[in-house]
A and B are shown apart, each in its own frame.
Chain A
């Protein structure tokens, strides 16, 4: 029994995909086999003026979403050190302002963002501060929604569906469903994690999710080396079904043809993703969880995957007790990961193609609780990172005294942030995706 060397197999698979796409473009009437992005760029190559690039802003834009699960303490992330009310509400866990006397809790001082407003980043967000100083970060203050829900599940679903009733498909899923005329694209969105988040689930468009690229494959081949070859032949038969003409042009695809085609896509994606991720990144990443996720995402972007939305997530933010140390650790990981990722993108010269958005399902109560922690709250800051975001601090810090049941009142609706991301960055009609009109928060540079 002979075994083809791996490189050979890779070449063959890549060729298969190329052939597949060429057929797809040539037979435009076979709508079901033409991935929408391919269709668009094919039209672009024909010189459609409406699709021509704007100078300096690449067409193939990418959104990376970073989810902070558990409810990140916004008030200790963007610290309102200029407010005495902050220290009154948080005598033990308050973070001192720059230049203030060392606090009892031995925390270093916040990193000043905007002197006039008296706000600064958590001292461990030095990485994010460096990006901010380079004009790459938008700090959006007081983001939330009306009648805030303090259940992790429900509030996360609200953010992910973009709907206050928390029902239905995800907002990114709907973006793809709307953009692609209902034609799913195999690698449109990728989440790093065991489960794909609801945000990426469309009615038609479904995300790919894997914890590590080595899990996005058939593991039967680990049982016995002899299984790899026949498995590949079986699952690549789709190329014959598509390219070899057993699908009659114009005839509806049978369930079996559909399955064969998807199996082929899966082989090609798997090979491609594992090849991409195996490469050493251009910059060093720290060793923790979020950094590893962003490292994989960076590798896939570098490899030129057609993926438009990536999703990374980090948990542990539900800091009900003794939060100082825990939260400081999380902030360090977050800051270092985001910085390494952005440096990687710059080294790749892909930084103009990517915007990163950081959010959590809610912030935390203004007053600390009896256990040195904070309970579930409401509005909190978001971050947008990239060369195309309008840098600086957006909006006013929410009042620490005009509260709703002890919680901050939001000043910016999260759907206004989504509207800006959709309209300005992804160039999609936000009203259709969000099922309602929301003010565009205007978070990107006018040239974008």
Chain B
């Protein structure tokens, strides 16, 4: 038996493998982009993605304010105090109204941030950077509605992005200094005199070790003490020395007067941490089926070792994963259920449709169960089959129809003014005299859009359909075929 983590033979890096790589380590690409990646060869293709060699995306058109939810000034506090003391209901009501207005402005801003991020995923030349940022957002899940501060969400998003392929230790340390997370898991109330265990518990259970993996309730209690005093002032992390418990602690069989950073270092010394992170990366990038195959288990173990060997540097581990035989194995093609974000972004990027309306796409993502900046809980999005039910199935199919044709659920055709030239998906199939073979076009379209050769039955259905509407290949007919292909249950796989 071979080692499934060994690199794929160079000759086996074919068109299908290049497309698989671009789908998984990014959000897919057009046939021309897949061919370009193929021409780089396996090693350079993986490098191109992992080293973020593509063009940086601009932030044009988006400007965010950091001070919508600034703290009250001393004068404002005094005014409110006096109004309360004198029962001045008018002033109290005015202050309440102003507070409400600021909150409304902040909610509008988080809405704009959702559009900004989705647009960024669609436009970026560094797809793995955004994909990893999304991965870490789900991993270090923090929800806007609990913290109600859009700027803090954006700061966290920036922290995750700058460390997304760097060192996991920096991510873990970053998250225990991150205002959004400190608020989300109540660490701003974790004080020496009354420790709050929320962050310490989730740090071990969800962020680093996995539930019950080699730690106990006592470690949580002691870890919570190490995290006391870590809070924020305004938009900045703040270490409140007076609230920090500097006494001796025992965490995971080590003793000392540990700080929060020490707590993280101790956790990272546990081999369980590398296995837990490797397992999550595996489910996100390789296969999200409920049960792992033997090769899958082996690959997770080797990926964990790669993380440990690189002292938690992520790039070397990711590079090895994307080059591995196992990543490219047949059992792992079309094996992951696309997240709503993947469905949207990959449809645009691979089919080359117009974006039409980022607003509508954000709404579609929400309806399909993935609201950016609002994971359902600190556990993040469970992913896999939880994405799919009868309602989201229609929303998924209808979102594809919208991208391909501009048709919305309400029947109007706003956004359809943007023309979509789908012929670019088949142009390369013209023979020497410029003729397109209908059956070959159908096969190629289906194989491309579904990420693998379609079933015989599917192919017959599509060919028969094309025959029923005239049989020739032109833009409208390609779009009609794409509507059907994207409505196939297997289009939800990536």
Contacts and interface: CB of A to CB of B under 8 A. Distances in A.
A194 B397 CA distance: 16
Given A222-B411, A223-B405, A234-B487, A370 B390 contact: no
A168 B202 CA distance: 14
Contact of B389 (A210, A222, A255, A262): A262
Given A154-B145, A370-B90, A219 B487 contact: no
Count chain A CB atoms within 10 A of each CB in B378, B392, B393, B411 and give the residue with the most.
Answer: B393
B235 interface: no
Interface residues of A, number: 60
Count chain A CB atoms within 10 A of each CB in B385, B410, B468 and give the residue with the most.
Answer: B385
Nearest to A196: B391
A201 B407 contact: no
Contact of B393 (A184, A226, A230, A263): A263
B366 interface: yes
B391 A255 contact: no
B375 to A, nearest CB: 11
A219 B291 contact: no
Contact of B390 (A195, A227, A266): A266
A234 B483 CA distance: 12
Interface in B24-43: none
B145 A157 contact: yes
A169 B379 CA distance: 11
B366 A195 contact: yes
Interface string A367-382: 1011100010000000
Contacts of A208: 389-391
Count chain A CB atoms within 10 A of each CB in B291, B334, B367, B487 and give the residue with the most.
Answer: B487
A227 B400 CA distance: 15
A305 B96 CA distance: 46
B475 interface: no
B425 to A, nearest CB: 18
B394 interface: yes
Given A223-B401, A256-B490, A269 B388 contact: no
A223 B489 contact: no
B468 A252 contact: no
Contacts of A203: 382, 386
B493 interface: yes
Given A166-B146, A262-B489, A367-B89, A224 B480 contact: yes
A197 interface: no
Nearest to A206: B389
Interface string A197-225: 00001011011111000011111101110
A259 B488 CA distance: 9
B409 A255 contact: no
Contacts of A220: 397-398, 401, 405, 407, 483-484, 487
A266 B376 contact: no
B335 interface: yes
Given A203-B382, A222-B407, A223-B480, A262 B335 contact: no
Contacts of A204: 386
Contacts, number: 149
B407 A218 contact: no
Contacts of A320: 97
Interface in A155-198: 157, 166-169, 184, 186-187, 194-196
A196 B390 CA distance: 13
A320 B89 CA distance: 13
Contact of A153 (B145, B489, B493): B145
B489 A227 contact: no
Interface string A217-255: 111101110110011011101100000000000001011
Count chain A CB atoms within 10 A of each CB in B103, B291, B394, B398 and give the residue with the most.
Answer: B394
A187 B457 CA distance: 30
Contact of A230 (B146, B408, B484): B484
A310 to B, nearest CB: 14
A201 B376 contact: yes
A124 B325 CA distance: 71
Contact of A370 (B89, B290, B335, B369): B89
B492 A259 contact: yes
B390 A255 contact: no
A217 B493 contact: no
Contacts of A270: 390, 394
Contact of B480 (A186, A227, A259): A227
B3 interface: no
A201 B392 CA distance: 13
Contacts of B472: none
Interface string B261-299: 000000000000000000000000000111100000000
B391 A207 contact: yes
A265 interface: yes
Contact of A218 (B405, B487, B489): B487
B487 A231 contact: yes
B388 A258 contact: yes
B391 A216 contact: yes
Interface in A257-306: 258-260, 262-263, 265-266, 269-270
B465 A255 contact: no
B337 interface: yes
Interface in B414-466: 457-458, 461-462, 464-465
B483 A168 contact: no
B90 A218 contact: no
A221 B393 CA distance: 15
Contacts of A224: 469, 480
Contacts of A371: 93
B213 interface: no
A195 B409 CA distance: 14
A320 B104 CA distance: 15
Given A233-B461, A234-B487, A370-B90, A218 B337 contact: no
Contact of B407 (A223, A226, A254): A223
B110 to A, nearest CB: 11
Nearest to B100: A320
A1 interface: yes
Given A219-B409, A227-B483, A234-B488, A206 B385 contact: no
Interface in A333-375: 367, 369-371, 375
A186 B401 contact: no
Interface in A411-433: none
B388 A218 contact: no
A265 B480 contact: no
A153 B149 CA distance: 13
A266 to B, nearest CB: 4
Contacts of A166: 146
B377 interface: yes
Interface string B218-262: 000000000000000000000000000000000000000000000
A166 B290 CA distance: 29
Contacts of B398: 218-220
A372 to B, nearest CB: 12
Given A226-B465, A270-B394, 18 more contacts: A153-B148, A154-B145, A154-B146, A166-B146, A167-B146, A168-B376, A219-B398, A219-B401, A219-B407, A220-B487, A226-B468, A230-B462, A234-B484, A259-B337, A265-B390, A370-B89, A370-B90, A371-B93
14 contacts: A154-B145, A195-B366, A196-B391, A206-B391, A210-B391, A218-B397, A220-B397, A223-B405, A234-B489, A237-B457, A255-B337, A256-B489, A258-B388, A320-B97
Interface of A: 1, 151, 153-154, 157, 166-169, 184, 186-187, 194-196, 201, 203-204, 206-210, 215-220, 222-224, 226-227, 230-231, 233-235, 237-238, 252, 254-256, 258-260, 262-263, 265-266, 269-270, 320, 367, 369-371, 375
- Of all A-B residue pairs in the complex, the 8 with the closest CB atoms, nearest first, are A259-B489, A266-B390, A206-B389, A263-B489, A208-B391, A266-B393, A230-B465, A220-B483
